Amino acid sequence: MLRKEPGGFQLLPKPLPLMIASEVRLAHLHTFGIKPTYIQRLDVACRDGWQAAELLAVNPSQIADLTLFWLSHRPFGVLHAPDHAPRLRRMQQWLGRLVRPMSPQDIAVVCHSPRARLPWNAGDRPFPILMDRHLLDAPVVWLSLGDNIYWIALTPNHLLWASAAYVVDLADGHWITDSIGEDASPSL
C-alpha cells in the first residue's frame, strides 16, 4: 500500500487482518506437503458446522467440526461432521471415565484462541485428537482455519495425516486405527 507524501511515495505496512493467523496455519499444512483443494473466504464468521455447510453449499457430512472435552484432567478433541456429533453420555460410557465438555474459558486456554481450533503444529500437540470415520467417506472435508471465516477443503486422508488423529467410530464406540493406519487406541 502506498501513501503519497511530499517528495515521493511511502510504503505503508499491510494491515493485519484475520488472514494472518490463517496463513500461519496454511504454512503448517505446507510443511506437511499438503496443499488444500480449495480455500474459501466467507462474508461472515460461522456459528457452527451447519451454518458453514449452508454458506459453503456443501453437504454437512463434509464439514469437520472440532469438539473439545476433558477426560478427567486431560484435554482431547473429536473431529466430526455436524450430523455425527459426539454425544456426551455415549463418550462417558465408551471411555469409562469422567468425560465433560470444555467450557469457553478452557477452550481459550487450551487452544490459545476463543474458538476450538485444530493445532496444526504436530510437534506441539497439546492434546490427542479422535476423528470420526464418517469424515473419511467424504470426497473432500471442509474445515475452518480457526477464525470460521476462512475455510479450506482437504482430502480426508490429508486431514487425518496432518491432524495425527486416531480414527474412531463414534456411533459404535470403538477404535479403528491410529493416524498411520495401524490398529491402536491412544493413551488418553
Position 114 scores a pLDDT of: 64
Position 92 scores a pLDDT of: 84
The DSSP string of the chain is: -EEEETTEEEEPPPP--THHHHHHHHHHHHHTT---SEEEE-SS--SSHHHHHHHHTS-GGGB-EEEEEEETTEEEEEEE-GGGPPPHHHHHHHH-S-EEEPPHHHHHHHHSSSS------GGG--S-EEEEGGGGGSSSEEEE-SSSSEEEEE-HHHHHHHHTPEEEETTTTEEEE-TTSS------
Cell 453449499 maps to which residue?
57
The half-sphere exposure of 155 on its side-chain side, counting CA atoms within 13 A, is: 6
Strands, sheet with 38-41, edge to edge from the N-terminal-most edge strand: 38-41, 150-154, 141-144
Nearest to 154 by CA among 170, 135, 168: 135
Rounded distance, CA 149 to CA 61, Å? Answer: 19
Whether 185 maps to a domain, the answer reads no
Rounded distance, CA 3 to CA 100, Å? Answer: 53
CATH number at residue 149: 3.90.960.10
Whether 13 maps to a domain, the answer reads no
Q: Which three cell numbers stand for residue 139?
A: 470426497
Whether 7 maps to a domain, the answer reads no
Residue 85 vs residues 4, 112, 133: alpha-carbon distances, Å: 54, 23, 12
Does 14 score more than 50 pLDDT?
no
Whether 140 maps to a domain, the answer reads yes
Q: What is the pLDDT of residues 125-156, one digit of tens each?
A: 568 888 999 999 999 999 887 777 888 888 99
Whether 11 maps to a domain, the answer reads no
Rounded distance, CA 81 to CA 179, Å? Answer: 18
Position 61 scores a pLDDT of: 93
In total, how many domains does the chain have? 1
Whether 79 maps to a domain, the answer reads yes
Whether 1 maps to a domain, the answer reads no
Q: How many CB atoms lie within 10 A of CB 104?
A: 10
pTM: 0.74
Q: What is the pLDDT of residues 73-106, one digit of tens each?
A: 888 889 999 988 888 888 888 887 788 898 888 8
Domain that holds residue 67: 36-177
